[in-house]
Amino acid sequence: MLDVQKSRDTRNIPIDKVGVKDISYPIVVMDRKKKFQHTVARINMYVDLPHQFKGTHMSRFIEILNSYREEIALDKLEIMLAEMKKKLGASTAHLEMEFPYFIEKRAPVSKARSLMEYTCSFAATLSEGFDFVLGIRIPVTSLCPCSKELSTYGAHNQRSIISIKVRYSSFVWIEDLVASVEECGSSPVYSLLKRVDEKHVTEQAYENPKFVEDIVREVTEKLLAEPAITWFSVEAENFESIHKHSAYACIERDKSRINL
């Protein structure tokens, strides 16, 4: 049959990324406590397309994904990318995954156990070399220092999302990054709290007010102190409880360019 995708294109315009998006697929993630955690990711797969070709073969992305059924894990990403480059005749391949990751968490006073969900992501690229970025979104409570200072009683607080992305030279656990980042909010967020716990976290937040600027600076200090991390970005967004807008701050650092 005629291979339309391989027919010649005369516009002389290469495409940076072409492929398939938003595939729901099971993957395996390393779990510090249980060794492995099975979850479901939303997956994007792309390659570059030389200017002379009209299109790429979309079905080949799915074929590659299916060939690693029940084996899609961090240690397979570079192999999958190499196969994408080979089968699609590309010089660069990209693989992105976003997935829920669950960590068992104990309430601070009652010690009641529950599972807390964190949204994580893998972004891997293979060109001349392999590049990998781990992302995690971590909810915390933030209490406004200005509101506390101005008010006769009380202070406004809200849920905040701290988003980190890291490159590393040696393996880092998701659980360790989550624990470290949660310390930078006014209080952690829990999926299960008893009354004694609610009292504790409310008072903890009140005694630990944080601007969005405080949060990103404190996370930055922690990531700078982690020797395995070579590059990172940190964002914090406060979903304000008394404003229509959110408060936002961001820091990005390449540790190879920093004189520590």
- What confidence category does residue 50 fall into, taking pLDDT thresholds of 50, 70 and 90? confident
Q: What is the number of alpha carbons within 13 Å of residue 210 lying toward its C-beta?
A: 30
Q: Which of 14-18, 184-188, 241-245: highest mean pLDDT?
A: 184-188
Please determine, for residue 2, whether its predicted confidence score (pLDDT) is greater than 60.
no
pLDDT at 256: 81
- What confidence category does residue 86 fall into, taking pLDDT thresholds of 50, 70 and 90? very high
What is the reported pTM?
Answer: 0.92
* Euclidean distance between CA atoms 22 and 74, whole angstroms: 19
Please determine, for residue 53, whether its predicted confidence score (pLDDT) is greater than 80.
no
Please determine, for residue 8, whether its predicted confidence score (pLDDT) is greater than 90.
no
Q: What is the DSSP letter of 76?
A: G
Beta-strand relationship, 157-168 and 187-188? unpaired
CATH 3.10.270.10, the chain: domain bounds: 1-98, 107-260
CATH class of the domain whose range is 1-98 = alpha beta
Please determine, for residue 17, whether its predicted confidence score (pLDDT) is greater than 60.
yes
pLDDT at 132: 97
Which residues lie below 8 Å from residue 150, measured CB to CB, with a gap of 6+? Answer: none
Please determine, for residue 10, whether its predicted confidence score (pLDDT) is greater than 70.
no
* Euclidean distance between CA atoms 54 and 245, whole angstroms: 44
pLDDT at 152: 92
pLDDT at 192: 97
pLDDT tens-digit readout, 178-235:
999 999 999 999 999 999 999 999 999 999 999 999 999 999 999 999 999 999 999 9
Asked if residues 123 and 141 have their Cβ atoms less than 8 Å apart, the reply is: no
Please determine, for residue 7, whether its predicted confidence score (pLDDT) is greater than 60.
no
* Euclidean distance between CA atoms 181 and 77, whole angstroms: 26
Distances (CA, A) of 24 to 15, 44, 66, 96, 250: 25, 9, 12, 12, 30
Q: Look up residue 10 and give its two tokens.
A: 């005369």
More confident residue, 11 or 218: 218
CA angle (29 as vertex; 225, 80 as ends), nearest 5: 105
pLDDT at 63: 94
Fold of 107-260: Urate Oxidase (3.10.270)
Instruction: State the alpha helices, DSSP H only, in the chain.
Output: 58-67, 77-88, 145-150, 174-182, 195-206, 212-224
Long-range contacts made by residues 128-135, C-beta under 8 angstroms, separation at least 24? 130/78, 130/81, 131/167, 132/77, 132/167, 133/165, 133/166, 133/167, 134/165, 134/166, 134/167, 134/168, 134/172, 134/174, 134/177, 135/163, 135/164, 135/165, 135/166
Amino acid at 118: Y
pLDDT at 170: 95
pLDDT at 57: 81
pLDDT at 70: 75
Q: Look up residue 61 and give its two tokens.
A: 């992305």
Please determine, for residue 101, whether its predicted confidence score (pLDDT) is greater than 80.
yes
- Tell me what the pLDDT averaged over the chain comes to: 93
pLDDT tens-digit readout, 105-156:
999 999 999 999 999 999 999 999 999 999 999 999 999 999 999 999 989 9
Please determine, for residue 177, whether its predicted confidence score (pLDDT) is greater than 70.
yes
Section 160-170 average pLDDT: 97
Amino acid at 130: F
